[in-house]
């Protein structure tokens, strides 16, 4: 917020706790009130790097600041957003704020989310001093759905190896893969690791292992490299060397750029969970947290990004995003585009995630150019950019 203030942006915090910095530009009466927005997230996964999300928030502030400084006069407000809870780290669900804005999250689903201490999103928001004049999920979401935009463009590291490997400066994202998240729990009777003979056991951890191998098989069976599946979270109870695992809790992430292929893998995992539990005499629960559709970027924005890259003598290529972002939901609200810059070795969601200052500067310049183009300032101004 202090950086937004230094850049002369008007600051607001919405009912979800997302933070907005807005420059309404000249007081010209041709201003169309819906902003050209950019932004990303600053929350992270455990043991994350320093660039995933933060680049899009700080880069967005810098892009708008430099447009202001260059004397650019936008016909629409320019806005940078720090979306709360893009990562599923605390509440299990991804993109909580942009999902609510896009009308893809209802009050009951928000109310069901709890963090590891059993705290709900609303309790956490109130505890952090947000949403104090909204007493429940319904009013919080109703308010979040009031936002309207004329376009949204997010700057992000690629989180993959393509741009660096092909020595390309800028990625113009054409589509964002369809993510889904599942929560599976196997429950058995546990027992003594020494005294309980194998024939009397229903070991929850072995069931989880079988499901994980089945996930890999189902993903590879689509024969497409766009299908990916991960058992990222795996909790065993009582988690003691000499106790037969009584509970196994798994969180499973399945994605594909093609929704039908993603849903095929999801159905195979649903069936496999039931078959494995039955065979191993275990109880089980199987919950689908989200099965989001893929998002298409707006063609004109993809072109503006490529034009901007050219304008600054940068190479660019169009590509898909295999990671999801708040842009996945902003695409359900307005015209969406994403700008990728390379990250070292394609590493991300790791402490050694890295992007160079040159690549960051390139991304910010192309973002500023693209936002200026979308904000419809007088055409001659673009040459000064
Ligand atoms: O998991 C993702 O795709 C994003 O980085 N949160
Ligand atoms: Mn991430
Ligand atoms: Mn991210």
60/13 Cα distance (integer angstroms): 17
- What is the secondary structure of 67-105 as a DSSP string? HHHTT---SS-EEEEEES--SSTTTS-S-HHHHHHTT--
Question: Nearest ligand to the C-alpha of residue 254?
Answer: 1
Question: Nearest ligand to the C-alpha of residue 157?
Answer: 3
Ligand 1 site, residue 353, Cβ cutoff 6 A: no
State mean pLDDT over 355-376. 97
Ligand 1 site, residue 87, Cβ cutoff 6 A: yes
* CA of residue 200 to ligand 3 center, whole Å: 46
The H helix count followed by the E strand count for the chain is 13, 13
Amino acid 27: pLDDT: 56
* 8 Å CB contact between 157 and 51: yes
% of the chain at pLDDT higher than 90:
93
SS3 label, residue 143:
helix
83/97 Cα distance (integer angstroms): 6
Reference 91, options 185, 181, 186; nearest CA is: 181
Here the contacts of 199-206 (C-beta below 8 Å, separation 24 or greater) are 201/244, 202/280, 202/281, 202/282, 203/244, 203/245, 203/280, 204/236, 204/245, 204/246, 204/247, 204/248, 204/282, 205/236, 205/245, 205/248, 206/245, 206/280
Rounded to two decimals, the pTM is 0.95
Read off the pLDDT band of 33 (50, 70, 90). Answer: confident
Hey, whose CA ends up nearest to atom 6 of ligand 1? 87
Read off the pLDDT band of 130 (50, 70, 90). Answer: confident
On the question of pLDDT at 378 being above 70, the answer is no
Amino acid 118: pLDDT: 97
* 8 Å CB contact between 67 and 264: no
Mean pLDDT of the chain: 95
State mean pLDDT over 337-361. 98
Ligand 1 site, residue 323, Cβ cutoff 6 A: yes
């Amino acid at each position: 917020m202090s950086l937004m203030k230094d850049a002369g942006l008007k600051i607001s915090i919405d009912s979800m706790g997302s933070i907005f910095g807005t420059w309404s530009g000249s007081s010209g009466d041709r201003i169309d009130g819906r902003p050209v927005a950019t932004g990303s997230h600053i929350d992270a996964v455990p043991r994350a790097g320093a660039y995933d999300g933060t680049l899009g928030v700080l880069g967005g502030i810098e892009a708008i600041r430099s447009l202001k400084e260059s004397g650019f006069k936008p016909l629409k407000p320019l806005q940078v957003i720090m979306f709360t809870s893009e990562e599923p780290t605390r509440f299990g669900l991804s993109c909580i704020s942009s999902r609510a804005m896009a009308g893809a999250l209802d009050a009951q689903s928000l109310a069901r989310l709890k963090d590891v201490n059993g705290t709900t999103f609303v309790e956490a928001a109130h505890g952090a001093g947000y949403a104090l004049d909204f007493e429940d999920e319904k009013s919080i979401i109703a308010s979040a759905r009031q936002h309207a935009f004329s376009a949204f463009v997010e700057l992000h590291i690629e989180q993959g190896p393509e741009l660096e490997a092909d020595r390309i400066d800028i990625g113009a994202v054409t589509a964002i893969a369809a993510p889904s998240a599942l929560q599976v729990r196997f429950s058995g009777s546990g027992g003594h690791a020494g005294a309980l003979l194998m024939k009397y056991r229903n070991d929850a951890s072995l069931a989880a292992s079988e499901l994980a191998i089945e996930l890999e098989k189902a993903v590879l069976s689509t024969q497409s490299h766009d299908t990916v599946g991960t058992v990222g979270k795996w909790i065993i109870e009582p988690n003691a060397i000499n106790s037969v695992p009584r509970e196994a809790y798994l969180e499973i992430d399945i994605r594909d750029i093609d929704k039908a292929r993603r849903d095929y893998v999801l159905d195979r995992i649903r069936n496999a969970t039931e078959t494995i539990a039955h065979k191993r005499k275990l109880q089980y629960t199987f919950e689908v947290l989200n099965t989001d559709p893929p998002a298409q970027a707006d063609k004109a924005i993809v072109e503006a990004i490529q034009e901007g890259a050219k304008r600054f003598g940068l190479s660019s290529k169009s590509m898909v995003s295999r990671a999801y972002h708040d842009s996945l939901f902003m695409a359900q609200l307005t015209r969406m585009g994403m700008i990728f810059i390379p990250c070292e070795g394609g590493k991300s969601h790791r402490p050694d995630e890295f992007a160079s200052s040159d690549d960051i500067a390139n991304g910010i310049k192309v973002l500023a150019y693209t936002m200026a183009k979308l904000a419809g300032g007088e055409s001659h101004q673009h040459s000064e950019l």
